[in-house]
């Protein structure tokens, strides 16, 4: 148990995760997939990272393989204030050029064929993460503050080859999650300092989930894959405090047991992969995420009838579409490229600056370099371009704040693969 907690703590230390798939979903499982915008991920069997997207693909491998990946996320998420119901606040005071910190998302995988029918694999990666941070004296502090959700998925998977065409796979997932929510009172008509903490909640939890995959080999040049990942219920148990007086729903700085319950959504993906000739491959994916399970972000406080913090999210299920290709430039170099369209699950009537989200396009490029018969290196990058959003949020004392947001990002990844 001590070793497990040490490994988790080490993972969290480098995974101050930011989200650049839909909402707080992370797509960054591998650098090889990054180079083609993660097109074809449930059907391509390039390296051990198949454990994250379709364990049935492990049946393709004849030798043990290790893959270690890291992806840097450099966000460019900005806000422009366009209106305020508080006459004492100039909308320009709401401007913020960088509300999301940079992040590093690591991943590691190991797969091992047992015989010509069975294979097993182990993976450590993340499917969900978020970080946004505002100054403690931000005028709309009740909407902003600090929001962080970090998850680490420990996976064990197995695959079974039914025949030369069909394979199936099953994965079991232990998901450790850590969350922090801080809200300051912001500009107000009561004379309280803007940096007064209205909500401070930190907690963690662990849950279990499962995923199942299937692969169909149409012929030597075409393969289809499907993967389904279950929902996971997480209740972040920790401590709640508020500097507000009890008459305003606070605790005068005292800490009380508190919790936030969320459901990490189910994910389903269908992919195809086709080798068009001896040099060119075409790949595509359609992914569905069941975001309707995430309808509210709310903090329950022990001994209190009213929540310490509550925000309606009202997310809807969302789709992601991607297409990509690769080209064998020479014996050692494989080039990749891809594009994707990521739908936002956010309700236009419940937009939030704490979880900023928008539809976005991915433009991706990558290369694989073969160093020897046993090892190769993947490099990938993506440029993400989001739409401009205009929306209004109300805080807990009925003040209205209007914004225009822009969300873009740059992703850079590297991955080392070794075959034993």
Q: What is the pLDDT of residue 138?
A: 94
CB 404 within 8 A of CB 79: yes
Q: What is the pLDDT of residue 356?
A: 66
Q: What is the pLDDT of residue 15?
A: 36
Distance of CA 398 to the CA centre of its chain: 32
Of 236, 258, 20, 239, the C-alpha closest to 128 is 20
CB 33 within 8 A of CB 261: no
> CA distances (Å), 420 to each of 61, 66, 154, 210, 373, in order?
11, 8, 22, 28, 10
pTM of the model: 0.88
Of 24, 146, 141, the C-alpha closest to 73 is 24
91: tokens are 């909308």
Using a 10 angstrom Cβ sphere, with 0-12 exposed, 13-18 middle and 19 or more buried, the burial of residue 102 is: middle
If phi over 0 gives left and psi between -120 and 50 gives alpha, with beta otherwise, what is residue 164?
alpha
What 3-state class would DSSP assign to 91?
Answer: helix
Of 325, 331, 335, 314, the C-alpha closest to 378 is 335
Give the DSSP letter string of 264-330: EPPEEEEEEEEE-SSSEEEEEEEEEE-GGG--EEEEEETT-SS-SEEEE-----EEEEEEEEEEE-S
Domains of the chain: 2-419 (2.40.160.60)
Q: What is the pLDDT of residue 23?
A: 54
Q: Give the pLDDT of the chain (420 residues) as one tens digit per residue.
A: 333 333 333 333 333 334 444 556 778 899 999 999 999 999 999 999 999 999 999 999 999 999 999 999 998 888 899 999 999 999 999 999 888 888 889 999 999 999 999 999 999 999 888 788 899 999 999 988 888 888 999 999 999 999 999 999 999 999 999 988 899 999 999 999 999 999 898 899 999 999 999 999 999 999 999 999 999 999 989 999 999 998 888 889 899 998 888 889 999 999 999 999 999 999 999 999 998 888 777 778 887 777 777 777 778 899 999 999 999 999 999 999 999 999 988 877 777 787 667 889 999 999 999 999 999 999 999 999 988 888 898 888 889 999 998 888 899 999 999 999
């Amino acid at each position: 148990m001590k070793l497990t907690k040490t490994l988790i703590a080490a993972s969290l230390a480098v995974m101050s995760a930011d989200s650049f798939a839909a909402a707080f979903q992370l797509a960054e499982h591998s650098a090889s997939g990054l180079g083609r915008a993660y097109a074809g991920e449930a059907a391509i069997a390039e390296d051990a990272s198949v454990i994250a997207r379709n364990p049935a693909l492990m049946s393709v491998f004849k030798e043990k393989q290790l893959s270690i990946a890291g992806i840097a996320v450099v966000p460019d998420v900005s806000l422009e204030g366009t209106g305020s119901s508080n006459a004492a606040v100039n909308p320009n005071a709401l401007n913020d050029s960088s509300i999301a910190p940079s992040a590093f998302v690591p991943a590691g995988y190991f797969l091992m064929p047992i015989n010509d029918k069975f294979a097993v694999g182990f993976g450590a990666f993340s499917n969900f993460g978020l970080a946004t941070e505002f100054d403690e004296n931000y005028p709309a502090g009740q909407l902003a503050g600090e929001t962080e959700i970090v998850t680490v998925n420990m996976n064990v998977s197995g695959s079974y080859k039914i025949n030369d065409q069909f394979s199936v796979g099953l994965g079991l997932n232990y998901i450790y999650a850590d969350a922090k929510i801080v809200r300051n009172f912001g500009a107000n008509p009561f004379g309280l300092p803007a940096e007064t903490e209205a909500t401070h909640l930190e907690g963690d939890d662990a849950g279990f989930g499962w995923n199942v995959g299937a692969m169909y080999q149409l012929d030597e040049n075409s393969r289809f894959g499907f993967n389904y990942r279950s929902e996971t219920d997480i209740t972040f148990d920790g401590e709640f405090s508020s500097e507000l007086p009890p008459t305003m729903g606070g605790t005068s700085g005292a800490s009380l047991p508190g919790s936030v319950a969320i459901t990490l959504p189910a994910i389903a993906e269908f992919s195809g992969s086709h080798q068009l000739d001896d040099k060119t491959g075409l790949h595509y994916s359609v992914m569905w995420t069941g975001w309707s399970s995430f309808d509210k972000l709310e903090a329950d406080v022990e001994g209190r009838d009213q929540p310490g913090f509550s925000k309606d999210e009202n997310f809807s299920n969302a789709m992601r579409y991607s297409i990509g290709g690769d080209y064998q430039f020479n014996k050692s170099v494989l080039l990749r490229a891809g594009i994707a369209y990521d739908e936002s699950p956010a309700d236009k009537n419940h937009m939030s600056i704490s979880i900023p989200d928008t539809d976005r396009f991915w433009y991706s490029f990558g290369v694989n370099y073969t160093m020897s018969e046993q090892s190769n290196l993947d490099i990938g990058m993506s440029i993400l371009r989001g739409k401009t959003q205009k929306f209004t949020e109300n805080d807990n004392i009925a003040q209205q704040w209007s914004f225009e947001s822009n969300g873009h990002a740059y992703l850079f990844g590297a991955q080392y693969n070794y075959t034993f």
